[in-house]
Amino acid sequence: MERNDVMSERRSLRTRRKRKRKKRFFIAIIFLMLITTLSYTGYEYMMGKQESQGRVSGDDGSDYTLDEISSKYKDEFKGVDNNDGKTNVLLLGVDQRNDETPRSDTIMVAQYDEDGNKAKVASIMRDMYVDIPGHGYNKINAAFALGGPELMRQTIKENFGIDVEYYSIIDFDGFTHIVDTLAPDGVEVDIEKDMQYKAADTNIDLKEGTHDLNGEELLGYARYRSDSKGDFARVERQQEVIKLLKEEAVSINGVMKAPRLLGTLQPYIDTNVGSGKVLGLSKDMIFNPVNDIETFSLPTDDNVWNERVEYPIGLVLAHDEQQSAEAIQEFLNE
C-alpha cells in the first residue's frame, strides 16, 4: 500500500472516530436534557400538588377536601359527543361552605374548535328560570345541588339543545391558589369602579383603577354583583377574567409553570377530562394559540325580565325559552 493511501485511510479512520464521539456527545446532551426536563416537570408537579394539598387539608384546621364531595360524578356523568369536531366542556364554579350542599354560582359551556382554531365561552346566569328534568321549574343553579353535573348537563340539553362531553368543577378556594401559582405578582386588571362588599365569608374591597390582583382579589372581582347590573355585570367580569388567565397561561412564563399548575389543580378540581385529552388540548393551545375567546351570555339583554315565583324559589330571570335556545345554539354552532 502506498504512503498516500495509508495516510488517507488513517485520516478517514480519525474522521469516523470524531463523528462517533460527536454523535455520542449529542446523544448524551439530548439524554441529559430529557432527564432534566422530566426531573423539573416531576418536581414542579409534586411541589404544586403538595402545596395545594396542604392548603386544602391542614392550614385552616379543617379536613375538607373536594374529593369527598365529587368522587361519584365521573361514573354518573353521561356526556355526549355530537361528532361536530368541537369539544364542549361544562365549567362549574362551586362555593362549598363546611357541610352545606355545594352551590354552583358559575355556569359556563366552554367550546374549543380545533379545526377552526376557535375558543368560545357561553355563560348561563345562575338565576335563569328553567325546567330541571324530574324536578320541575327552578333556578338553573339548583340543578347542581339536586343532581350534580349530570343533572346540570341534562338541564342544559333539555332547555337549550346543547350537548356537552365533559365537565370540570373547580372550588373557589382552589381558584385563588391557582391564580397565585400562575401569576405570583398578580394579574393586571382595569377596575372600572370601587367595589366593596362584606359578608360572613366574603370581603371584597377593590379600588377603581389599574391594579395587580392576587388570587383572592381576582376572585372577589369576578364574583362582585352589588351594583345595578347585578349578575349581568358579574358574568361580564368572569368572562374577562377567563381571557386574562388564558393570556397568562399561554405566555412563556405560564408554559414553564404548567407542571406545577397541574399539580396545584389536582386537589381542587373534579373533571372527567382524561389526561390524554388535557395534554392534547394544551399542546394545541400552546403551539396554535387562539387569538381571542368569543363570549356570550344567557339570557340575552333583549330576552329577559324579572319574575317572582312562589317560595322558596323567589325572584328569577324569566325568558322566552325558544328564543334562548336558538340564541345559544347560533353562538356555539356557527
User: Could you give the angle at the alpha carbon of 104 between the alpha carbons of 186 and 172, nearest 5°?
Assistant: 25
Spell out the domain ranges in the chain: 67-333
Interacting residues of 154 by C-beta distance below 8 A, sequence separation 6+: 133, 143, 147
Please determine, for residue 270, whether its predicted confidence score (pLDDT) is greater than 60: yes
The pLDDT value recorded for residue 219 is 92
Check residues 264 and 179 and name the one with the higher pLDDT. Answer: 179
Residue type, 106: T
Q: Topology of domain 67-333, per CATH?
A: Aminopeptidase (3.40.630)
Rounded to whole angstroms, the Cα distance separating 177 from 300 reads: 32
- Cell 319574575, residue? 307
Q: What is the pLDDT of residues 70-104, one digit of tens each?
A: 455 888 999 998 888 899 999 999 876 656 667 78
Q: Pairing relation of β-strands 195-198 and 203-206?
A: antiparallel
Check residues 200 and 240 and name the one with the higher pLDDT. Answer: 240
Check residues 158 and 53 and name the one with the higher pLDDT. Answer: 158
- Cell 354583583, residue? 225
User: Could you give the angle at the alpha carbon of 298 between the alpha carbons of 192 and 188, nearest 5°?
Assistant: 30
Cell numbers at 244, concatenated: 386574562
Which residue in 239, 268, 248 sits closest to 185, CA to CA? 248
Length of the chain: 334
Averaged pLDDT of the chain: 79
Q: What is the pLDDT of residues 308-322, one digit of tens each?
A: 999 999 999 999 999
- Cell 330571570, residue? 317
Residue 221, φ and ψ in degrees, nearest 5: -60, -40
Report yes or no: 288 and 117 within 8 Å, Cβ to Cβ: yes
Check residues 123 and 69 and name the one with the higher pLDDT. Answer: 123
Average pLDDT over residues 237-250: 86
Rounded to whole angstroms, the Cα distance separating 63 from 38 reads: 32
The kind and range of the H/E element at 177 are helix 172-182
The pLDDT value recorded for residue 255 is 59
